[in-house]
Structure 1
Amino acid sequence: MSGFVLRWLFAFILLAATFNPTQYSYVRWVQQNGTESLSIAVLCGLLLIIGYIIYVRATLRSIGVVGMALVLGVVGAGLWVAFDLGWMSFDNPTANTWVALVALSFVLGVGLSWSHVRRRLSGQADMDDVDE
């Protein structure tokens, strides 16, 4: 379980580093200082893109678009239940942004972890197609 938590945490950090409702995100930093430090902005942007390629590619290969939609649907249904039970409200846009970051990072965390879960459940390892 700690492997999943670690993969989810890195997905959350990747998403939150890109954008979050505070002033401490790549998007806000580039909006305020991007022209002054263009080379640093480009370097950081490329590093973020590499992180997204790793996560999104692994997620698409392991659970696909349908799996991503299903995981996001389960998270959305869970949020709906929490709203109906009065555990949360969607009145605060800042809180909504954090909830969206957690939900999206959960999808990426599941996608990156799914091959490990499937191997443990079925005993079968996933193999990439090898071109000859």
Structure 2
Amino acid sequence: MSFFLRWLFALLLLTATYNPSPWNFVRWASENWQAQLPLTVLLALVLLVGYVIYLRATLRSIGAFGMALVLALVGALLWVLWDFGLFDLSDPKLMTWVGILALSLVLGVGLSWSIIRRKLSGQVDMDDVEDA
């Protein structure tokens, strides 16, 4: 359940920022930034904090190579689905949603990696602790 919640929050963060529907921050901010600049800046900073938390945790836990590996696995899965005729690449809106889903999986795995690793290997990860 904990992985699901971390992934869900990553998906919400990405879709709140941008998605093909008219309900996203990028579209709203481009239309309203002059009339509501303080609110636009506040919401942008809230989203930025979310990205910093997710990206920092992901880079610390699985690194750039791990991020590329998770994206490669998602890409290979999509390729298999396309090869079996279960997936259509011609719809740009669908491809945007697939990209958002793929990125949310990378962030969800990155934030949950210590839990996943502990369950698979039985080993516990600890943050680097400096002596005071």
Per the normalisation by structure 1, the TM-score is: 0.96
1:55 deviates by 0.5
Please provide the CA RMSD for this pair. Answer: 0.8
In the alignment, which residue of structure 1 is the partner of 2:87? 88
In the alignment, which residue of structure 1 is the partner of 2:62? 63
Letter matched to residue 31 of structure 2: Q
Structure 1 stretches lacking a partner, 5+ long? none
SS at match of 1:24: coil
1:5-20 pair list within 5 angstroms: 5-20=4-19
1:123 deviates by 2.4
Partners of 2:123 and 2:87 lie apart in 1 by: 40
Letter matched to residue 73 of structure 2: V
Letter matched to residue 44 of structure 2: G
In the alignment, which residue of structure 2 is the partner of 1:115? 114
Task: Percent identity, please.
Answer: 57
Per the normalisation by structure 2, the TM-score is: 0.96
Cα deviations across residues 18-48 of structure 1 (Å, max 9, x unaligned)? 0001111000001111111000000000000
Structure 2 stretches lacking a partner, 5+ long? none
List, as ranges, runs of 4+ consecutive aligned residues in structure 1 with deviation greater than 4 Å.
Answer: none
- The count of aligned residue pairs is 131
1:74-85 pair list within 5 angstroms: 74-85=73-84
Cα deviations across residues 32-76 of structure 1 (Å, max 9, x unaligned)? 111110000000000000000110111111100000000000000
Partners of 2:43 and 2:89 lie apart in 1 by: 32
1:9 deviates by 0.6
